[in-house]
Amino acid sequence: MSSTAMKKKVLLMGKSGSGKTSMRSIIFANYIARDTRRLGATIDVEHSHVRFLGNLVLNLWDCGGQDTFMENYFTSQRDNIFRNVEVLIYVFDVESRELEKDMHYYQSCLEAILQNSPDAKIFCLVHKMDLVQEDQRDLIFKEREDDLKRLSRPLACTCFRTSIWDETLYKAWSSIVYQLIPNVQQLECNLRNFAQIIEADEVLLFERATFLVISHYQCKEQRDAHRFEKISNIIKQFKLSCSKLAASFQSMEVRNSNFAAFIDVFTSNTYVMVIMSDPSIPSAATLINIRNARRHFEKLERVDGPKHSLHMRMR
């Protein structure tokens, strides 16, 4: 593993009780949604370092959202908090009754970001969407998104609707983390090569601990645009259930007459999912191919800069 891992500072801010620590615990600390009920309030800032893909360290700043803390962030702690920020994730509780106050704090954040880290990427999560009636969700989210984009100018923000109770959480965090991976283009290029060689319909690459999708390839359009985060969610839950029984999840094969899907440990930092729709190709062949590709992808992870081109020999 590279000893000169890139460190990226991620600010996680939002009103008290909006769900920041819960989200962080599910994505990075193997909590299941139900467990987050036990969490206490975050006092001031909780720092955590998360190793990601071997060559990236996410420096998470989970900032308690009570008024006293927020006021401090904008005044005495301003430089400390808002300098060198790579990503700002601002969490809004969709049920909040104090929309004006929420916006006021959000804008103060943006001001401080503009002054101290103007290149930071901004993500807004409209959270606890499960508390909104299903048929209202799209509408309410669209409203909020429009407001936020307008309020954020001249800065740009990307909005997601999330809930800890479904896959939307994974979609948001996948997209966020994707922006932070240093050599993501190269990863995608190699994944495409691999997929084409083995004639797969689709290949997904997951980060090993969080099961966030970090790269994917598909050779044709698929029906469900949300399948990635759904898979993340399902497999992660399954993986956690296994560990509760003191068993560790290694691999899975799912097949029917239309397709075969293989989920397996790939490199030391990733899992791979390969979907084959050609029934004539035996499992063994696909598994061998996956095994052979491992070494090359492992090498890719260990390398510092995007200088290597990868040659793969397949049988």
Partner 1 sequence: MGSYRRIDCIFFSEFHPTLGPKITYQVPEEYISRELFDTVQVYIITKPELQNKLITVTAMEKKLIGCPVCIEHKKYSRNALLFNLGLVCDARTKTCALEPIVKKLSGYLTTLELESGFISNEESKQKLLPILSTLLEELNVTGACTLPIDDSNTIHLKLIEQRKDPLVVQEYDVPVFTKNKDHFTKSQWDLTTQQILPFVDGYRHIQKISAEADVELNLVRIAVQNLLYYEVVTLVSIFQYSNVYCTTPKVQNLIDKKCLQEECIHYVSKLGQRTNLRDVFQLYCGLTPGTTVRDLCSRYSHQLQRVDERKLIQFGLMKGLIRRLQKYPVKVVRDERSRPPRLYTGCHSYDEICCKTGMSYKELDERLENDPNIVVCWK
Which residues contact partner 1 by CB under 8 A?
16-17, 37-41, 43-44, 46, 64, 66-69, 72, 76
Residue 75: CB minimum distance to partner 1, A:
8
Q: Which amino acid is at 291?
A: R
Which of 41/234 has CB closer to partner 1? 41
Q: Which amino acid is at 75?
A: T
CA 268, CA 47: separation in Å to the nearest integer?
A: 25
Of residues 297, 286, 292, 294, the one with CA closest to residue 199: 286
CA 67, CA 65: separation in Å to the nearest integer?
A: 6
The 213-218 sheet, strands edge to edge: 213-218, 202-207, 270-276, 260-265, 251-255
As beta bridge partners, residue 204 has 216, 273
CA 210, CA 173: separation in Å to the nearest integer?
A: 10
What is 145-198 written as a DSSP string? HHHHHHHHTTS-EEEEE--TTSTHHHHHHHHHHHTT-TTHHHHHHHHHHHHHHH
Collect all residues with Cβ–Cβ distance below 8 Å to 133 and sequence separation of at least 6.
none
Residue 116: CB minimum distance to partner 1, A:
21
Residue 15: CB minimum distance to partner 1, A:
8
Which of 60/290 has CB closer to partner 1? 60
As beta bridge partners, residue 12 has 62, 89
Collect all residues with Cβ–Cβ distance below 8 Å to 255 and sequence separation of at least 6.
261, 283
Structure tokens at 242: 């296994």
CA 177, CA 5: separation in Å to the nearest integer?
A: 15
Residue 248: CB minimum distance to partner 1, A:
30
Which of 38/307 has CB closer to partner 1? 38
Which of 43/284 has CB closer to partner 1? 43
Collect all residues with Cβ–Cβ distance below 8 Å to 179 and sequence separation of at least 6.
87, 121
Which of 76/222 has CB closer to partner 1? 76
Residue 43: CB minimum distance to partner 1, A:
5
Residue 11: CB minimum distance to partner 1, A:
18
Which of 18/55 has CB closer to partner 1? 18
Residue 98: CB minimum distance to partner 1, A:
9
Which of 38/223 has CB closer to partner 1? 38
Residue 41: CB minimum distance to partner 1, A:
4
Which of 2/48 has CB closer to partner 1? 48
